């Protein structure tokens, strides 16, 4: 009984193998391999810088640097206050003084955070204008300033988190 089922299966299997012996793929060139190669697309013409946009980007980048400098000036006081309040009870005099120093530190970085938000908005607006064909270029110069401001704000966030971690949480 098993032999009767095995013989037809074996015959089908062998017929499939026999078919492949004669059907090797050709190694001749295909038509697509002989097709002409397309010419490379020319790079777009350089876009002239928009002086008004550049002035706005420069102003916002300077504002971010101003916020960074103010933060750096406020940092030592906050660092000292939180070091002296490390381990102090919540609502103790040292803890409250450290919280005030952290608040002053956060207020000092307002210019850099505000500049980053403005650069983000300007980046989105300019990207949309370029996509709609209303403006040409400028996105790259905004992005450079935006990345620099983001780096400043990220560094400030890390430093603020570090001083907050020293204090007991309510």
- Report d(CA 65, CA 129) in Å as an integer: 27
pLDDT digits (tens, 9 = 90+) for 133-169: 999 999 999 999 999 999 999 999 999 999 999 999 8
- Report d(CA 46, CA 136) in Å as an integer: 10
> Do 149 and 60 touch, CB atoms closer than 8 A?
yes
Quote the pLDDT of residue 19. Answer: 54
pLDDT digits (tens, 9 = 90+) for 100-123: 999 999 999 999 999 999 999 999
- Report d(CA 54, CA 91) in Å as an integer: 48
How open is the CA angle 96-102-107, to the nearest 5 degrees?
A: 125
Quote the pLDDT of residue 41. Answer: 67
pLDDT digits (tens, 9 = 90+) for 9-65: 777 777 666 555 556 677 777 777 777 777 776 666 555 668 999 999 999 999 999
Quote the pLDDT of residue 27. Answer: 76
Quote the pLDDT of residue 143. Answer: 96
HSE, side-chain direction, 13 A CA sphere, residue 32: 0
């Amino acid at each position: 009984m098993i032999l009767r089922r095995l013989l037809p299966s074996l015959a089908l299997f062998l017929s499939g193998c026999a078919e492949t012996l004669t059907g090797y793929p050709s190694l001749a060139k295909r038509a697509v391999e002989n097709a002409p190669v397309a010419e490379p697309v020319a790079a777009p013409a350089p876009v002239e810088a928009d002086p008004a946009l550049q002035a706005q980007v420069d102003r916002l980048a300077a504002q971010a640097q101003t916020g960074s400098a103010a933060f750096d000036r406020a940092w030592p006081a906050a660092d000292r206050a939180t070091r002296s309040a490390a381990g102090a009870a919540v609502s103790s005099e040292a803890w409250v003084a450290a919280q005030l120093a952290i608040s002053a530190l956060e207020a000092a970085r307002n210019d850099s955070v505000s500049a980053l938000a403005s650069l983000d908005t300007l980046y989105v607006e300019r990207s949309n204008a370029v996509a709609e064909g209303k403006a040409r270029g400028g996105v790259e110069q905004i992005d450079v300033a935006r990345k620099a401001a983001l780096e400043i704000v990220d560094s400030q966030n890390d430093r603020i988190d570090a001083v907050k971690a020293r204090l007991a949480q309510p």
